[in-house]
Amino acid sequence: MNKVSKKHHYLPRKYLKWFSDNNNLFYIYDKEKDIIFQQYPDSFFFKNNLNTFEINWAEKDFLENLYTNTENLFWPSYEKIINSTPKEYINWLDKLNLYLFLLFLFWRLPFNEKIVENFVDIAFKKWEKLDFFSIVGKNWETWVFENEIIWKIKWLKDFKKILKILLPFYPFHKIKDWSISPLNWKFLYTQDNTSWYITSDNPIITNKENYNNLDSLLEDILFPISWKILLVWTKVKDNAIFSWRTIIDYNVAMIHNANRFVACHNKDLLLAMIDVYKNDKFHNKEHIIIPELFNSIK
């Protein structure tokens, strides 16, 4: 009998390795305790039983296996982008796989669990945002929302874990022009090929406060592909200039956006960014860190 896995990463280990040093280590900043320590990617950014599902009082890890199998489909494209240069054209299929990766990543982050809760009530309802999936009986009849079994399923303590697997497919069913957005992506490469970008336990920086609009969920975002490449998914002028100040502003925003933990391969860089963040915090500028970052690149 296969042993059920317990340690479930919400940031994939293959992703985290691109923020570690030559010894496969990175420095972690704990915002809550205000300390820095070293750690291996395999040993961090996980939560025990995050994707464990209980069936008939037995624990199952099929959701974790599903995430792993899905990630394996994305990685060839992801590594292509990581190894790309500013002069290379990134094809649409690779962008599509990155789009899928971001959708799955967003919904599996523990930080976003409260957002998932907002959609439990409308699951399986006809003419609602989430009516693109349903449950059918053994004779292929669709079970209606009022069905007693539907209610039992919805209020299972692990139902939200199932919903997190379904929500990434929303754009492909409900947004007519979903394929246009990735065409407008910009990738910012560090000019000296040095590793300047950091990441965190909440790595998708977005310039919005309301996540209930699924149609624009991943618009106006910044996401670190690696320590050398930053995805910019917002309106950017073709002649926009991204200076050292932009990199600093991004890193400070990432620290601010983090729920608790920030990761960086370089301790000196991390300490410098923490000092800037603490200075902004001291001067009560936390509320403008992210808006000013997006204004600076538009």
Bridge partners of residue 188, in order along the sequence:
230
Read off the pLDDT of each residue in 164-190 and give the average, rounded to a whole number: 87
What is the percentage of the chain residues whose pLDDT exceeds 90?
Answer: 51
Least confident of 21-30, 57-66, 163-172: 57-66
In a domain, 209, yes or no: yes
User: Do the beta carbons of residue 190 and residue 247 sit within 8 Å?
Assistant: yes
| Cα-based distances in Å from 189 to 81, 85, 196, 227, 230 | 11, 8, 10, 9, 7
Beta strands 46-48 and 7-9 are antiparallel
Domain of 19 in residue numbering reads as 7-297
Whether 251 maps to a domain, the answer reads yes
Structural domain count of the chain: 1
pLDDT, position 56? 74
Q: What is the pTM of this model?
A: 0.90
Bridge partners of 264, per DSSP, are: 27
Quick check: is 141 in a domain?
Answer: yes
In a domain, 215, yes or no: yes
Between CA 199 and CA 214 the distance in angstroms is 24
Tell me if 2 is assigned to some domain.
no
What is the arithmetic mean of pLDDT over 245-251?
92
Average pLDDT value over all residues in the chain: 87
69 falls within a domain: yes
pLDDT per residue as tens digits for the range 272-289: 999 999 999 999 999 999
C-alpha 170/C-alpha 216 separation (Å) is: 11
Q: Establish if 160 belongs to a structural domain.
A: yes
Q: How many CB atoms lie within 10 A of CB 63?
A: 19
Q: Which tens digit of pLDDT belongs to each residue from 204-241? A: 999 887 777 788 888 889 999 999 999 998 766 544 45
Q: Of 71, 44, 216, 57, give the one whose Cα is nearest residue 129.
A: 216
